[in-house]
Amino acid sequence: MSEVRNADIDYLMARIALDDLAGRYSRAIDRRDMDLLRSVYHPGAHDEHGTAYAGEVDGFIEAMPGLMANFSVTQHQIHTRSFRIDGNRADGELYFTAYHKTIEPMTHLVVHGRYLDNYEKRGGEWRIARRKLVWDAIVSQPVQESEEELLASLGETGKAEDDYSYDALPLMQRGT
């Protein structure tokens, strides 16, 4: 193969790996799967989640249960993704929408923002080395009882740790 073709394949493989990280991060947060969350970051990585947390990833993962305690449901969606890849380093700006249903008081909370990521490929594996979260907008409104009744009438509803996805997706168990 030509050098250009090899470079194109390397770029595509890196891009797929970085896209996969974005999906794994969202699933890990929403399912409260700390082993899966750890797999998204390199050891010693740094995460800045505004005033909620700033420091090494081990502390972020340790703080996560407390940070998520007042949310009965979360859903993190990654939208526009821009990456620049240079060998074993990459930068990424990922736009996100994160829905949260708070427990007390019951509120729909929707946050829009961006993850500013620095990635590194170590030992053949791409992971986040540094993440900075930027908040762009927030929408909040009380949950109406009629909404809860309608949602329950539709069938299986989203959950955190014991989500139905673990029954429906046998290849996607906790930590994977």
CB-CB contact of 101 with 109 (8 Å): yes
Contact 97, 110 (CB under 8 A): yes
**Residues 46-89 pLDDT 10s:** 999 999 999 999 999 999 999 999 999 999 999 999 999 999 99
Over the stretch 127-148, which tens digit does the pLDDT of each residue have? 999 999 999 999 999 999 899 8
Residue 119 lies in a domain: yes
In the block, tokens 């949950």 appear at 143
Transcribe 40-106 into DSSP letters.
Answer: TEEEEEEEEETTTEEEEHHHHHHHHHHHHTTEEEEEEEEEEEEEEEETTEEEEEEEEEEEEEETTTT
Domain hosting 15: range is 3-168
Burial 79-91 (b: 16+ CB within 10 A, else e): eebebebeeeebe
In a domain, 143, yes or no: yes
Residue 163 CB neighbour total at 10 angstroms: 19
Checking if the pLDDT of 168 tops 70, the result is: yes
Number of domains in the chain: 1
Residue 16: which CATH number?
A: 3.10.450.50
